[in-house]
Structure 1
Amino acid sequence: MKKWSLICFISFFFFQSSVIAAESAQTYTVPNSVMDISKDNTYPNPTQDLPYLQPSKFAKQLIDSANVEIENPELIRLLNESSAATTPFAIGYRATIYLGQWPLNYQSTETAINWEYQKMNTNFYDNRGGNAPQKLFYKQEMQKHIHGGLTAKIPNEEAVKKMMLLTAMKKTNLPLAFDTVIGIGTKKDRVYNVPAKKLGYLYAYAPAVNEKGKVTYGEVYVVLKGNKKRIVVKNITTQGIGAWIPVQDRVSLSYIISDSPR
Structure 2
Amino acid sequence: MKKVLISLVLLLLVGYSIAVSVEAKIPGGVKDISKENTYPNPTQDLPYLQPSELAQQLVESANVPIENPDLIRLLNESSVSGSPVAVGYRATVFLGHWALNYESGRTAANWEYEKINTNVTDNRGGERQIQNFYRQEAQKRVTGGLTAKIPEAEHVKKMMLLKAMKKTNLPLSFDTIVGAGTKQDHVYNIPPKKMGYLYAYAPAINEKGKVTYGEVYLVLRGNKQKIIVKNVTSQGIGAWIPIQDHVSFRFSISDRPR
Assess same fold via TM > 0.5.
yes
CA deviation string 1:126-169 (max 9, x = no partner): 11111111010000001101010001111111110000000010
Question: 1:105 and 1:168 mapped to 2: Cα distance?
Answer: 14
1:156 matched residue in structure 2? 152
Among 48, 69, 74, the residue aligned to 2:70:
74
1:115 aligns with 2:111: yes
For residues 257 and 183 of structure 1, the distance between their equivalents in structure 2, rounded to whole angstroms, comes to 26
Q: Tell me, in whole angstroms, the C-alpha distance in 2 between the residues paired with 1:39 and 1:183.
A: 12
Instruction: Give me the whole-angstrom Cα distance separating, in 1, the residues matched to 2:79 and 2:196.
Output: 65
Gap runs ≥5 in structure 2: none
One of 174, 179, 185 as aligned partner of 1:178: 174
- In the alignment, the residues of structure 2 paired with residue 187 and residue 39 of structure 1 have an alpha-carbon distance, to the nearest angstrom, of 10
1:129 to 114, 125, 128: 125
Q: Is residue 85 from structure 1 mapped to residue 72 from structure 2 by the alignment?
A: no
1:222 paired with 2:218, answer yes
1:39 to 35, 38, 47: 35
Q: CA RMSD in A?
A: 1.9
Deviation at 1:83? 0.9
The one-letter code sitting in structure 1 at the alignment partner of 2:131 is K
Structure 1: distance between partners of 2:141 and 2:222: 55
- How far does the alpha carbon of each residue in 1:179-229 deviate from its partner, in whole angstroms, 9 at most, with x for none? 000000000110000011111000000000000011000000000001111
2:232 aligned partner: 236
Shift of 1:86: 1.1
The equivalent of 1:208 in structure 2 is: 204
Q: TM-score, normalised by structure 2?
A: 0.92
Q: Tell me the amino acid that sits aligned with residue 188 of structure 1.
A: Q
Structure 1: distance between partners of 2:138 and 2:67: 40
CA distance in 2, matches of 1:90, 1:48: 43
Q: Deviations over 1:11-57 (max 9, x none)?
A: 9xxx8xx98xx59x857100000001001001110100000000000
Task: Give the 3-state SS of the residue equivalent to 2:85 in structure 1.
Answer: coil
- TM-score normalised by structure 1 residue count: 0.90
Identity of aligned residues (%): 67
Tell me the residue number matched to 1:5: none
Deviation at 1:89, TM superposition (A): 2.6
Q: How many residues align?
A: 247
In structure 2, distance between residues paired with 1:228 and 1:84: 9
Cα distance in 1 for residues equivalent to 2:149 and 2:192: 52
Once the two structures are TM-superposed, the CA of residue 257 in structure 1 deviates from its matched residue by 0.8
Task: Give the secondary-structure state (helix, strand or coil) at the position aligned to 2:24.
Answer: coil
Residue 115 of structure 1, CA deviation: 0.2
Deviations 1:53-103 (A, max 9, x none): 000000000000000000000000000000112122322110101000000
Q: Provide the rounded CA distance (Å) in 2 between the counterparts of 1:226 and 1:125.
A: 77
CA distance in 2, matches of 1:47, 1:133: 41
AA partner of residue 239 (structure 1):
Q
Q: Distance in 2 between matches of 1:110 and 1:35?
A: 24
**Secondary structure of the corresponding residue to residue 110 of structure 2:** strand
Q: How does 1:42-53 map to 2 (within 5 A)?
A: 42-53=38-49
